[in-house]
Structure 1
Amino acid sequence: MSVLYRAAKIAEQAHAAQADKTGRPYIEHCRRVVDAVETLDQKAIAYLHDVIEKGDGWNRDRLEAAGFGPSIVSAVDAMTRRPNEDDAAFVRRAAANPLALPVKRADLADNLWQARQIGASTAKYEDGLRILKEEFPS
């Protein structure tokens, strides 16, 4: 089973009962992030980017046991918010991981799009994208 297929199946299961900001199935957010990045590793990370934070029982060890290598697991971990971590610190920590950087950029862009769709505040996503543009230019 390919890394990408395995990541997609885990994300589908982990987010099965969850909805995104617009009320749509959460996996659609993951798929939009996947579509916005280029490499197979980035796409696997995009599927998995919220599994530790939002999926029941997922952690680094479980991802490793599922067959994901250290670079993918470290990138997913970089995209997992820590308790009491502020938005800017979270964006900077995620962006410091080269594999996570393009995924974080795509994640913020999709979250910004979702916030606009429902008329919610866009400030934290705009701020995150500004940090990436200024401090981690592509």
Structure 2
Amino acid sequence: MIYTVFTNKALRLAYDAHHGQTDKSGQPYIFHPYHVAEQMTDEISVCVALLHDVIEDTSVTFEELEKEFPREVIEALRFLTRKSGTGYLDYLREIKQNPVALKVKLADIAHNSDESRFEGCNELSAEDIARNKEKYAKARAVLEE
């Protein structure tokens, strides 16, 4: 991962915002955005990856982020934040308009569909894992078309 003033700020903000949250495998949630960020190769994408779930899953607002991060980060995050009333496929198609959002979403999907994350996890059934895998395969296909 790239470490800069902005990426360090994004890491701290994501860590604090997701504090106490766990993912579907029971792991601390921050591991997910951190893993997605590790796949990125530039400062803006790392920030977006670290922050990609903070608007939807925490009390952080765009107004707060706008005070701290470059415009490119905010723009990509707006594409990655699904608006109320927007269908999932329409949401995915909109993401394709922003190259940073697209890159981060593809890495997000790759991590979410990695079955090894659920080894030894009793919280998800084999059916849940298969359903998630199918959902993310369809999402990847839409993003790559």
Give the shorter-chain TM-score range: 0.7 to 0.9
Please say which structure displays the higher CA radius of gyration. 2
Q: Do 2:25 and 2:117's aligned partners in 1 also have CA atoms closer than 8 Å?
A: no
- The residue that corresponds to 2:64 in the other structure is 62
- CA-to-aligned-CA distance 1:29-64 (integer Å, 9 cap, x gap): 0111011121111011000000111111x1211101
Matched, 1:28 2:39: no
Distance 2:21 2:52 in 1: 14
Distance 1:26 1:116 in 2: 12
- CA-to-aligned-CA distance 1:85-133 (integer Å, 9 cap, x gap): 2221111112211211100100111111159734321222111111122
- The residue that corresponds to 1:88 in the other structure is 89
- The residue that corresponds to 2:141 in the other structure is 130
- The residue that corresponds to 2:46 in the other structure is 43
List structure 1 segments (4+ residues) > 4 angstroms apart after TM superposition. none
Paired amino acid for 2:62: R
Q: Percent identity?
A: 32
Distance 2:116 2:54 in 1: 21
Alignment TM-score, normalising by the size of structure 2 = 0.84
Structure 1 runs not aligned, ≥5 long: none
Distance 1:115 1:123 in 2: 16
Paired amino acid for 1:131: V
Instruction: Work out the number of aligned pairs and report it.
Output: 132
Structure 2 runs not aligned, ≥5 long: 119-123
Alignment TM-score, normalising by the size of structure 1 = 0.88
RMSD: 1.7
